[in-house]
Amino acid sequence: MRADVVVLGAGIVGVSIALHLQERGRRVVLVDRRGAGEETSHGNAGLIERASIVPYAFPRELTTLLRYGLNRSTEAHYHLSFLPKIAPWLLRYWRASSPRALAEASRAMLPLIELCVTEHERLMAQAGIAPMLRKTGWIKAFRSQRNLDKALAEAARAKPFGIRYDALDDAAIHAREPHLSDVIVGGIHWLDPATVPDPGGVAKGYARLFVQRGGRFLEGDARSFGVAPGGWAVDTAEGRVSAEIGVVALGPWSDVVFAPLGYRIPLAVKRGYHMHYKASGNAVLNHPVLDTDSGFVLAPMSQGIRLTTGAEFASREAPPTPVQLDRAEPLAREIFPLSERADREPWLGNRPCLPDMRPVIGPAPKHPGLWFAFGHNHHGFTLGPVTGRLVGEMMDGQAPCADPYWFRADRF
């Protein structure tokens, strides 16, 4: 089987790239070992994060570092045996989180962040799933007035970038979320982000659109991907597929392809968990709510109220250790009336991250016809469609929507 492009990975980034390249007239084959959106793209909080102009940086406050170091936090957890392996990466992450480097990362990411909602909106309309888009923002909630005041001072820095938000006192936040408990004293309602009740369903909707437009979506093993006459090839359930161009969009598994090809890109994984709950009585959650002081998100989803945890540093293949979920659940019950668990087991996913908080997007420097698109650092769902647009523009030699210099693979 011959195509113009083979895209490895059917998460939100991969399916978005496949759609954009298909729209530009290329014959595209999309390959994954599972269905669309069934890995990292499935388990997030459903945010299209138009307000996150500053990436998630390594903490620099001594009290936060001590809390993380004691390994008793809901925001972060680590496997002691994994620390020697992840320590060099964490050091690079810490260095890249200096004020100057963080400002640089923010400038680099801003054009993508600015387009994230409109690019999703366009694809969702084409896929016939526009009603899933909720343009109601999300709420950052606080248990402490001191922490709220500090966050409001930081939020004011976003105004020059056109980011809108409402400062919520005790009365205002409970007017917007009547079933939050009095433990919450106020919050910040970010108005520009959008949300969806089923992020995995959005990825599946995009994949359906790709197939309806004549694309091929095949089951295959990325480990079989490699150089072939005229380009690249990969084994699938329907035979070997060859193409002039190969795109690696495998998220946390991208190293399965790039490492054997000789690329030393510092891709790491932050694991995370979620669990769904029924709401007690007639309780309703209207927006995703981040309990900022405790480090977890409650989000209204099609499956119930989804509790998502912070980052776990552990081997990608290590057995699940949902310590953060067990710590967060009683704290979540303090702020919202959750009933019983709706899932048999906690879901475990992997977030692909790079230490400078920017993805790799662009051509592989040592192999003509090979492209990379991975490492979106908590924002894969947010940036999937705009990443597809950027890849398409770069391949066609058009003016890109963001400066590709910041995302090149050889920057490390």
Q: Report DSSP letters for 110-157, one per residue.
A: HHHHHHHHHHHHHHHHHHT-GGG-B-S-EEEEES-HHHHHHHHHHHGG
Q: Does 146 map to a domain?
A: no
Per-residue confidence (pLDDT) for residue 134, from 0 to 100: 97
Residue 121 domain flag: yes
For 143, residues 6+ apart whose C-beta sits below 8 A from its C-beta are 183, 184, 185, 291, 293, 294, 335
Q: What is the pLDDT of residue 165?
A: 97
Any domain includes 208: yes
- List Cα–Cα distances, 176 to 24, 51, 285, 290, 294, in angstroms: 43, 19, 9, 14, 21
Q: What is the CATH number of the domain that holds 254?
A: 3.50.50.60
Which pLDDT score is estimated for 255?
98
In a domain, 9, yes or no: yes
State how far the Cα of 177 lies from the Cα of 304, in Å rounded to an integer: 16
Instruction: Examine residue 35 and state whether it is found in any structural domain, yes or no.
Output: yes
Structural contact between residues 81 and 75, judged by C-beta atoms closer than 8 angstroms: no
Residue 328 in tokens: 């967060």
The dihedral built from the CA positions of residue 107, 150, 285 and 57, taken in this order, carries a sign that is positive
> H-helix or E-strand containing 80?
none
As separate numbers, helices (DSSP H) first and strands (DSSP E) second, the chain gives 10, 21
Residue 23 DSSP one-character state: H
Q: How many CB atoms lie within 10 A of CB 240?
A: 13
Give residue 159's pLDDT. 85
The per-residue pLDDT for 264 is 97
Helix axes 380-395, 99-127, angle to 10 degrees: 80
SS3 241: strand
CB 3 within 8 A of CB 28: yes
Beta carbons of 188 and 165 less than 8 angstroms apart? yes
3 state DSSP class of 322: coil
Which residues constitute the domain of residue 399?
Answer: 1-57+97-133+195-267+354-412
Q: Which residues contact 64 (CB under 8 A, 6 or more apart)?
A: none
- Nearest to residue 316, comparing CAs of 18, 160, 82, 118? 82
Asked if residue 128 is part of any domain, the answer here is yes
The CA distances from residue 344 to 83, 276, 277, 340, 341, in Å, are 30, 10, 11, 11, 8
How many separate domains does the chain show?
1
In a domain? residue 288? no
At residue 157, the pLDDT reads: 86
- Examine residue 367 and state whether it is found in any structural domain, yes or no: yes
DSSP state of 215: -
Looking at residue 271, its amino acid is R
Structure tokens at 189: 């309602």
For the chain, list residues with pLDDT below 50: none
